[in-house]
Structure 1
Amino acid sequence: MPRRRLIIVSLTAALAVLIAGGAYAVARPRPAAPVSVPSPAPAASPSASPSPPPGADITGGPLNLLIVGVDTRIDEPGWQPHSDALMILHITRDLRAAYLTSLPRDLVVDVPAFPPAGFRGGTHKITEAMAYGSAVPGGRPDPAQGVRLLATTVGNYTGIKRFDATAVISMEGYDDLIDALGGVRIHVDVQTPSIHRKPDGTRRAGDGDPQQVYRVGTMTMTGWQAIDYARQRYLTGGDYTRQRHHRQLLKAMLTAATDEGLLRDVTRMESVLAAVAGTLVFDGGAHTAVDLAFALSHLRPADLTLVGLPGDAVYESGAYVGEALNPPSADYFKCLRAGTLPAFTHDHPDLVDRA
């Protein structure tokens, strides 16, 4: 299969790809409803055929999308892109339901050799796969190159032969998108103090500064609040709690866009595109993320199931080396490949995120 081109698009596309994949087939036309036949009329000049909506030729599944959140501090010396958030979106064969789960950033995996970056392979934390793959001898790191190694690494671990689309998203870049949506409503499931922000949103300079605290309950969050809430990991459950909050945020964004009717309105989507400043790298083949959003816009937040996979810390000689997922995780990916995730979530209700 030829390599797909990498397209730079606005963060609005990040929202679109949450409900979209990249495996395509020719759409099956719907049968027309019966109509009465009028008496013949004088011949007239033929009118132009209406243009099909975006993504009209996209159908079929199952689809698997890799979503990567990157902390893009590109101005720092020695910066390398790491996958700070790593999620897999699975859309069922009938395109009527979707499942979103996460992999720990410190998951210990085998990272294969990657000649374009001069990387020889080895056992590492999965967050480092993108950094190793992004290396450009004598040049700046290339995240678009690094995601190729990351996708291969994730595919080897999960048994997913290929991803139908990938999206690499700047976590900081979400701020403007969320504000353009008018904020998002999130149920804070555990009291979450911020190590990064003061209550007014300015950055904390040290432990002596007051800190923003997100208290249990449902609240409407602005862009900076939502991103700040989702970044915190010094909580009970550590990074696994942070993963859950990442998933909550993406579902809240989908809910906001659906409530606003954004995903079916090209003009408004373009307006939001102009309003946001962040970018992402999106690989969706011949279709844009807007195409995909329209093709799957019938999916609703209630059709998106959030699944948290359990894991434990791994130590060697008393030193922390990373994380390993527990046995139910292997069953999750086995069911994903077999198309039986509804049965898995029915049998493992404790792994389904509850609002």
Structure 2
Amino acid sequence: MSDLRPRSRSIDGIARHGQLRRSRPAATVLKFVGAALAVVAVSAASVAGIAVTQITNNIKSVALPGETQGPPPDLGSFDGGFNMLIVGSDTRAGQGAQFGKDDGVLNDVTMLVHVSEDQSNAVAVSIPRDMVVPIPACPREDGKGNYNSMTAQPINNTLAYGGLACTVLTVETLTGLDIPFAALITFQGVIQMSTAVGGVPVCINGPLTDKYSGISLPKAGTYTLAGADALAFLRSRHGVGDGSDLGRISSQQVFLSSLVRTVKSNDTLTNFTKLYGIATAASQNMTLSNSLKNVNTMASLALVLKGIPLDRITFVQYPSTTGVGGVYSGKVAPLKDIATALFAKIKADEPFSLDSGTGRGSVTDPSAAPAPSASAAPAPSASASASTPPVDALTGVLGQTAADYTCSKVNN
């Protein structure tokens, strides 16, 4: 700490040996408090400035096809809806010896997040990694031409074929939605971010063991998972549901809905250390589209999501099934009619409900009785109800909201 004692030299305008006017105790206290507050304010601003600079310097980014960059929004001023693709990579490069050596780079997770134009609701669509889809002609990473298009490939090949831009293009082709924002996260990103939030409570309905992912939870109950345990849970395929990729998706949605509840809690949103830890972990372990790399843009999108009630954040699985032959043999086939109905609702920003269950890898938690959301709207009057159109149930679409308490269903 620097020495704050008075120096011996003269100060202009004050004689060293002159008699100083006696100050009033109250005024002295107020001056001291004012000075202290000024120091705290300047220190906080300096720390925030350093934090933003460090986070910005960590960010790696790539261009998306046709991407144009306008000025970033002012903090908190993002208008309208948006689409963002979140991709989880299984790359072993730089992730640690515990994950072994593998030169492949596949997208283990491909999740499209859509926020409505009025910012009142959000839908996150998880696309099975083994689902067979057409892959369009993707731009080469060096900018010199395109890779050839392909008619039927598992979607998890897109990351290796043409990077994050290729995964975005493929999902745009599949859904008919423009995707201006994208983010790719690695194993270490999941480990560090789950630790930064203080762990995520996850319920299971029995003993969960998967030697392939490394998860080992001895009995039914709720566990707070962080670090490598959180990653092992999310990667578990053989330990949940029917052992398929579809079972893993609904199990992942148990984690994701709990993660949203955790991040939206006051304990996280008012804790600078946690927020800084989350931002640092993200910036060190994610690759962002150029459109997303500005800190103001990231924070503005996060503030939009923060304001959406839990019961209006819906996680769904892209309509699909297993057991189909031909090009889908041993893989996942899309259910095109149901998918068309789902994305018609999403494009039109029309609300919908789910009546087909949570999926193969999860069940409703019978012991959970969450309190009503403070952000939930009051019950409408009879006259308002009469004028409000009914919400359609999308039969065949599996999922849950962030307000639903569910448990992963173990594979016995």
CA drift of 1:336 comes to 1.0
Deviation at 1:86, TM superposition (A): 0.8
Judge conservation of contact 2:241–2:247 (CA < 8 Å) in 1. yes
The verdict on how the C-alpha distance between 1:104 and 1:189 changes in structure 2, with shifts beyond 3 A counting, is: farther
Answering whether residue 286 of structure 2 is matched by residue 280 of structure 1, we say yes
Among 235, 248, 253, which residue is 2:254 paired with? 248
Asked if 1 retains the 8 angstrom alpha-carbon contact of 2:110 and 2:126, the reply is yes
Larger Rg: 2
1:127 aligns with 2:156: yes
| CA distance in structure 2 between the aligned counterparts of 1:302 and 1:72, rounded to whole angstroms | 34
Q: Show the counterpart of 2:216.
A: 212
Superposed CA offset, 1:227-252 (max 9, x none): 21121112433111111222232222
Q: 1:97 aligns with which of 91, 98, 121?
A: 121
1:352 paired with 2:399, answer yes
Bigger RCO (CA 8 Å, 6+ sep): 1
- C-alpha distance in 2 between matches for 1:10 and 1:249: 26
CA contact (8 A) 2:92 2:102 kept: no
Structure 2 residue runs without a partner (length 5+):
1-55, 61-68, 95-99, 356-391, 407-412
Q: Does 1:164 align with 2:210?
A: no
Q: For residue 259 of structure 1, what is the aligned residue in structure 2? A: 265
Report deviation, 1:155. 0.7
- Report the residue type matching 1:236 in the other structure: G
Of 161, 183, 190, 1:174 maps to: 190
Question: The residue matched to 2:140 in structure 1 has which SS?
Answer: helix
CA contact (8 A) 2:91 2:105 kept: yes
Cα 1:334–1:276, aligned 2, differ >3 Å: closer, same or farther?
A: closer
Q: Is the 8 A contact 1:310 1:329 kept in 2?
A: yes
TM-superposed deviation, 1:254: 2.1
C-alpha distance 293-268 of structure 1, shift in aligned 2 (>3 A): same
Q: How many residues align?
A: 286
Counterpart amino acid of residue 245 in structure 1? S
Query: What is the TM-score of this pair, normalised by structure 1?
Result: 0.69
Counterpart of 1:121, as a letter, is: S
Bigger drift between 166-175 and 291-300 goes to 291-300
- The verdict on how the C-alpha distance between 1:224 and 1:167 changes in structure 2, with shifts beyond 3 A counting, is same
Q: Which amino acid aligns with 1:55?
A: L
**Structure 1 residues 267 and 58: CA distance shift in structure 2, 3 A:** farther
- Of 110, 116, 120, which aligns to 1:86? 110
Residue aligning to 1:30: none
In 2, the alpha carbon distance for the partners of 1:196 and 1:107 equals: 21
Residue type at the aligned position of 1:243: I
Over aligned residues, Cα RMSD in angstroms?
Answer: 3.4
- 1:253 aligned counterpart, secondary structure: helix
Seen in structure 2, the aligned counterparts of structure 1 residues 251 and 184 have a Cα distance that, compared at 3 Å, is same
1:331 to partner: Cα distance: 1.2
The alignment-based identity, stated in percent, is 23
Which range moved further: 147-156 or 338-347?
Answer: 338-347
Aligned to 1:221: 225
Aligned pairs (5 A) from 1:191-210 = 191-196=207-212
Q: Is the 8 A contact 1:332 1:341 kept in 2?
A: no
Deviation at residue 105 of structure 1 after TM alignment:
0.6
Tell me the distance in 2 between the aligned counterparts of 1:24 and 1:247.
Answer: 34
